[in-house]
Each structure stands twice: as structure tokens, then as C-alpha cells.
Structure 1
């Protein structure tokens, strides 16, 4: 008698940080994995995950491009398996003032965080809807609640994802497919180094969240079918305050955290 195939989970941005922890949790739950990232370290992550996962397929691709998304979708289709979990976690940050940024850099943030994420969700989400089952986790951010002075494009992209996730969730409410938005605060990952923000107050803050805790909160919320989860009590308090604080005041508060050189004050 043929054995029942194991469930399949897709995790993007899985080479480090929150994405890698999400992949680890899925592996521990018995899922086969397709893990993607835009760097060769995804191979190293896959080797480690194979110690606990029944099967891991690494995909190095640039999800800021249609070709990169297409390559990942081809790998998913070639597996011949229905996707049970899609964790759309890939994202890029970018510090400094908007007028001082290279257009190629801020476009890559938008194309990774927004365009590529939506392309992947649409292609995989159609399959999930057709099978009347599936869970989607989108990594948004509490940054989406604040005008992001010196992180303007990044925060704007996360505001988009926070909003989009709830709209898509409502569209799919009777389909058997759930959508959950994970909204972490500052987390102890390589994000700030990659975004050029190590000289900022938030970049040097030693009380950032543990990516394992953030991933655990997001995975649990996804499996329960919840609409959103803000990880950590401090971030919950910040989010609650942001909903009643004037936008101009929030922008000034964010400036103090993210302005270059603020970490030396």
C-alpha cells in the first residue's frame, strides 16, 4: 500500500533569521520543505534542516524578479505536491533618507517586499483555493503602523503587506484557505546590517526580539487560522499606541530610532 505523502511547506527568506526558524518549526512538525533565499547560504540552511526534516529542497532565487519567482514556482510544481503552508517571509530593509538612496536600492525593496511577494502568493494561492485548503503566513511588521523616517520605503512596504493580508484573508474567508499576518518588531537578525543601519539607535538596541520566539508566535497563529499576531508584549504596546498617536508624532519618534548616527547619541 502506498504511503501517504508528507505535507509540503514553502518558506522564503529561509537562509537566516525568522525564515530559517519558521523552516525549522515546520521541519519539526513533519513537513517536507522547499526553502528559498537570494543567497548561497540557503544550501547550508537546507543541510542543517535535513537533520530534522523528511525532505528539504533549497532554491536560490531572487524574488525581486519575475524570473526568480517563476523559478521557485517551477520547483514547487515539479514536486507534484499540493502546498499546505506558504510562509512568505522574504524581505529587504533600507536605511537612510529617501532622497539619498540609490533608486536601484529602493526599487529592489519594493520589488522584493511587495511585487515578488504578491506574485508568489497569487500563484500558490490559486492552487490552494483549487484544493480548498492551505495556510498562508505573510511577514508584515509593526513598522507598517509608523511613518518610517529614514526607513520610508521599507515601512511603506510593510504597511502595504499588513493591509493586503487582511484584504486577502477576507476574500478567501469561505475558501478553506487562511491568511495570517506576522507583525514582528525589531528582531535580532542580520536585517539591520544589511539595511545599513548599524549606526542607528534601533540598530544598536540590545533588546531586540529572538527570531525563534517570533517564528514560534507566527507559526502558531497560522496553524490556528488567526488573522494576525504581533510578537512580544513591548511590540503589542507599541502597536496599540500607534493606532491613537498622530502620524507626525510617530514619524518624529521613528526618526529618533532610525536616523543615521542616532546610535551614538
Structure 2
């Protein structure tokens, strides 16, 4: 294997948008280090190697300090500069906040917020001395509105969006860029995993995860501050959200996400 190719790292890279982001990097000549919570990450790495690059899988729990730090140590020990980092891993929880387990809410925050900050710190402190690098942070269209029945998810993604925008400005002139990807509803397992498969959005037509990943990759390479991942309707939602009141958006989201009553 050669080390002349640039190296990218992708969290949540064993399935969904994360795996498609890893494929985008691989198709553009990057070796890729990926992490995931299950042994599927090894299968994902094998599929990426079929694209003619090297792929380095690492299984870890992104909700723990040890899991995040372990992945960074694994990447650092490859002994190569990280040219691009996609901080993509994230989870959702559906249902009423009053009913959801507190430990589940804490796990979401640990992955979506704490883990993002943790790995971003390591990546930034690696890239800035090198004078180059690209960082992609996966947020969500949900970052632009209240999200009842996903009551901690939306705020966690709003944090990711504003964190990316803030970090981007701080790093201006360093050679390191930051881009936020805001996907709409996508054909991954997100809604099923969040317990929202039976909701209005869960049953609706989804954006193609390959298209969403390509938009994110293209925006990263073009040094855009953010991109909305999805079709024209998805992009229009974000435009409309800029001028729609929070109570109206909250009521709309509640209708779309309230779990159906048990039969």
C-alpha cells in the first residue's frame, strides 16, 4: 500500500450518510479511516478498498470519552497528516421527552455534542500546525427549527451547526476550513433507529443518501460554510424556516414527528 494518497477520517462511517461520505473520499483518491459502533465497520472498510484505496476500520462507542479518544489515537498512530475529517456520527431519539429515559437523552448529547467537540479539538490541533485541512460537521435541517418529539436531537444539531460556523471563522487564515452539512430526511436507518419509523416523516419519501453525501463532499471541497443536503423541497424548508416563527415551526414538527398511538 502507498502513503502518497491523502488521508480522510469519517465518524459513523459504517453505514448511512457516513459510509457514503467515506465513498466520496475514496472515489476522489483519499485513503479513509472510519469508525462505527459495530463490526459492520469492517465490512464497510472492505467495500471501500474495492475502490482502490486503503481503508482503516476502528470499532468504538462514540458515546464514551474512551471511544472517541481511541479513534483519534488510532488515526494519529497511522503517522500521516489528516487532510480531511468528516465528523458525522449522530443519533436521534423519538418520543415525548416526559417518557424517554434520561440515560438515553444523555447518550444522545454525548454522541452529538460532546463527542463532536472532543474529536474536533484533536483534529483542529492536528491540522492548524500543518497549515491545511478540511472539516465537515454533519448537522441537520432540524438545526433550523424546534423539534418536539425529538426534543434533544434538534438542539444537539443546532449546536453542531453553530459550532461549525463559529469554528470556521476562528480558523480563517489558518489553511483549515470548516463546512456544515444539513441533511433533510434521508434514506438511512435514522428514523427506524430513533423509533420514528411510524411518524409522518418516517413514512415519507426520503432523500438519497448518496446525493446528500455528494453535496456535503462538494461543499467541503468548495470551502462553503454550509450546505443543505437534499432535494429542492428540503432546501426550501430551510429557506422558509428563516422567516417562520418558532411556535409555528414547532407545531408543524410535532404533527410530523408525534409517534402514532398504539393500536
- TM above 0.5, one fold? yes
1:177 deviates by 0.3
Question: SS state of the match for residue 251, structure 2?
Answer: helix
Q: Trace 1:211-222 onto structure 2 (pairs within 5 A).
A: 211-222=209-220
Q: Aligned partners of 1:252, 1:186: CA distance in 2, in Å?
A: 18
How far residue 122 of structure 1 moved from its aligned partner, in angstroms, is 0.8
Q: Deviations over 1:109-135 (max 9, x none)?
A: 110001001100110111100101000
For residues 49 and 79 of structure 1, the distance between their equivalents in structure 2, rounded to whole angstroms, comes to 18
Equivalent position of 2:79 in the other structure: 80
**Partners of 2:71 and 2:3 in 1: how far apart?**
24
Distance 1:19 1:47 in 2: 15
The two structures have a TM-score, normalised by structure 1, of 0.96
1:42 aligns with 2:57: no
List alignment gaps of at least 5 residues for structure 1.
none
Question: Equivalent residue of 1:162, what SS?
Answer: helix
What CA distance in whole angstroms lies between the structure 2 residues aligned with 1:4 and 1:106?
A: 41
- Determine the C-alpha separation between the residues in 1 that align with 2:62 and 2:209: 22
Distance 2:242 2:262 in 1: 26
* Structure 1 segment 6-45 matched on structure 2, within 5 A: 6-45=5-44
Q: Is the 8 A contact 1:34 1:76 kept in 2?
A: yes
Q: Which residue of 2 aligns with 1:115?
A: 114
For residues 38-79 of structure 1, give each alpha carbon's deviation from its aligned partner in whole angstroms, at most 9, with x where no partner exists.
111111111111101421110001111110011101111110
How far did 1:233 drift? 1.2
**C-alpha distance in 1, partners of 2:227/2:164?**
12
Instruction: From 221, 239, 257, give the equivalent of 1:223.
Output: 221
TM-score (norm 2): 0.97
Distance 1:116 1:60 in 2: 15
CA RMSD of aligned residues (A): 1.4
**Alpha-carbon separation, structure 2, partners of 1:104 and 1:209:** 31
Partner of 2:169: 170
CA distance in 1, matches of 2:53, 2:194: 34
Structure 2 counterpart of 1:202: 201
Distance 1:124 1:6 in 2: 19
Q: 1: CA distance between counterparts of 2:182 and 2:72?
A: 25
Q: What secondary structure does 2:152 align onto?
A: helix
The answer as to whether partners of 1:200 and 1:262 remain within 8 angstroms in 2 is no
Q: Tell me how far apart the structure 2 counterparts of residues 235 and 213 of structure 1 sit (CA, whole Å).
A: 13
1:136 maps to 135
SS at match of 1:58: strand
Aligned mates of 1:96, 1:15 — CA distance in 2: 26
Q: Distance in 2 between matches of 1:117 and 1:91?
A: 9
